[in-house]
Amino acid sequence: MSRFSKSLLATLGGLAFIGLVAASLTLIVRYKPYGVPDHRRAEYEARVAALRQHEMDRKQNADTAQPKATVDATRHHFGMLDPHVTATHQFRVTNQGEAPLTLDVTDTTCKCTVGNVQQKLLMPGESTDVTLQWNTGYQAEHYEQTARIETNDPGRPTIKLTIEGTIRARLVAPESIPLQAANPGQPNQGSFLYYSQLPGDVILENIQSDAEGLQWNVTQLDPTKESRLADAEARSAWKVELSCVSASSGIFEIPATLTFRQTDNDETMVREATITGRVHQAISFHSPDIHSQTGLELGTMVNDRQHVTHVLVRQRDRLDRQLKVLKVEPESLHASMKPLAKEGNYRLTIEVPAGATPAIFNLDNKQGYVQVGDPDTPGLSNWFPVQGCVVELEKS
């Protein structure tokens, strides 16, 4: 091969290499990051640039002296505090870096908290106290307040300090007063405690409520001997026993207004509460097969034989009255009652006799029922639904 041919081949090879590099650069320029839509491309590139700049700054700062802020603890719990007092706590801040550290209280969560830095510029190795002062209110509740300290420490530009505590209560009384369940005509009885976490007695002067026959009395207790007040920090406590009579059966909730008076200054305090309880039904039914929502489930019964189910009936009021079956639906069901040895208890027998007329009574709009009561006392009755069906098999 001649010298001219070799020169020509070398020139062509160089041009091919340059074209390959240019094509690669074109691909790199046109490359789009995977998963980043076009309308967020600028945001993506800005974040990448910021991360690169942050890394460059970190490497640069690593070679220069920097402050380093440390705090022994960033949270303090005062525990129980009296109302309308001032509580303070000092947090120790130290500069463990190699450059001066600046400190500045920028904001607090409420006006009741005041932050103060004893020394706003710390040389390496120096410490100072940051004091948080908290003016407690009068409401008995848990408080948590914070303050922010701005620093020139690149690794810790903000320090969050927290103080918390619970304000002692002049009066702690329940919002709900549950009473025990009772039979019709009998009083529902119960009790509750109220106490004070501050010196001085608090007297319950009145309970205003629409509860019928409401009666109550108060007994002072030794809070150190009451297990229910073990963690309440009560300085004085009282037990209130009360009772009332509900005219109707079922669950009741009756509002009540409790009026208390402080003996040291005659100040009146009012608390709202709800008296709750339950009165048993005068007539109740008991069986493993009776459900509170659907009643008695008999299932599917073939009329080629007799089917018998027993239910316990219990009378809770005026046991001298005689209960009887008042009504039964459908006609396929037969029901009868027999007194048991225990006064007020009866055995209710529900029978589907052999040859009974086929019937369906397990639909929402078509159910059976059994009603029991005293025929001589209007309104004294109760009933329960009966679900099932009576079928007749085809004869082969």
In tens, the pLDDT along 148-174 reads: 899 999 999 999 999 888 888 889 999
One-character DSSP codes across 312-368: EEEE-S-TTSPPEEEEEESTT-EEEEEE-SSTTEEEEEEEE-TTPPPEE-EETTEEE
Q: Are 123 and 95 in contact (CB under 8 A)?
A: yes
List all residues 6 or more positions away from 348 whose beta carbon is below 8 Å from its beta carbon. Answer: 285, 310, 311, 312, 313, 325, 335, 336, 337, 370, 372
Q: pLDDT tens digit string along 187-239?
A: 999 999 999 999 989 999 999 999 999 999 999 999 999 999 988 889 999 99
In the predicted model, what is the mean pLDDT of residues 265-278? 94
Confidence check: pLDDT of 83 > 70: yes
Confidence (pLDDT) at 180? 96
What single DSSP character describes residue 62?
Answer: H
Confidence check: pLDDT of 241 > 50: yes
Domain 283-391 fold is Immunoglobulin-like (2.60.40)
User: Regarding beta strands 86-95 and 69-71, do their DSSP bridges make them parallel or antiparallel, or are they unpaired?
Assistant: antiparallel
In the predicted model, what is the mean pLDDT of residues 345-351? 95
Average pLDDT, the chain: 86
Pick 28 or 262 by higher pLDDT.
262
C-alpha 231/C-alpha 156 separation (Å) is 39
Confidence (pLDDT) at 15? 55
Confidence (pLDDT) at 27? 45
Q: What 3-state class would DSSP assign to 299?
A: strand
Q: If you compute the radius of gyration of the chain from its CA atoms, what whole number of angstroms results? A: 42
Q: What 3-state class would DSSP assign to 142?
A: strand
C-alpha 110/C-alpha 104 separation (Å) is 17
Q: What 3-state class would DSSP assign to 77?
A: strand
Confidence check: pLDDT of 318 > 90: no
Question: Of 78, 87, 93, whose CA–CA distance to 130 is shortest?
Answer: 93
CATH of 176-279, one of 3.40.190, 2.60.40, 1.10.3470, 3.40.50: 2.60.40
Among 35-39, 111-115, 142-146, the range with the most confident prediction by mean pLDDT is 142-146
Q: What 3-state class would DSSP assign to 168?
A: coil
Lowest mean pLDDT, pick from 98-112, 163-177, 306-320? 98-112
In the predicted model, what is the mean pLDDT of residues 280-293? 89
Confidence (pLDDT) at 86? 86
Confidence (pLDDT) at 50? 83
Q: What 3-state class would DSSP assign to 11?
A: helix
In the predicted model, what is the mean pLDDT of residues 87-94? 91
Confidence (pLDDT) at 190? 97
Q: pLDDT tens digit string along 12-28?
A: 555 555 555 455 544 44
Confidence (pLDDT) at 47? 84
In the predicted model, what is the mean pLDDT of residues 3-10? 56
* Bridge partners, 108 (sequence order): 147
Share of the chain above pLDDT 70, in %: 87
Domain ranges of the chain: 69-167, 176-279, 283-391
Confidence (pLDDT) at 154? 92
Confidence (pLDDT) at 11? 59
For residue 357, the Cα-to-chain-centroid distance in whole angstroms is: 54
Confidence check: pLDDT of 68 > 80: yes
Domain 69-167 fold is Immunoglobulin-like (2.60.40)
In the predicted model, what is the mean pLDDT of residues 139-149? 81
C-alpha 261/C-alpha 279 separation (Å) is 33
C-alpha 189/C-alpha 215 separation (Å) is 10
Pick 273 or 31 by higher pLDDT.
273
Pick 85 or 347 by higher pLDDT.
347
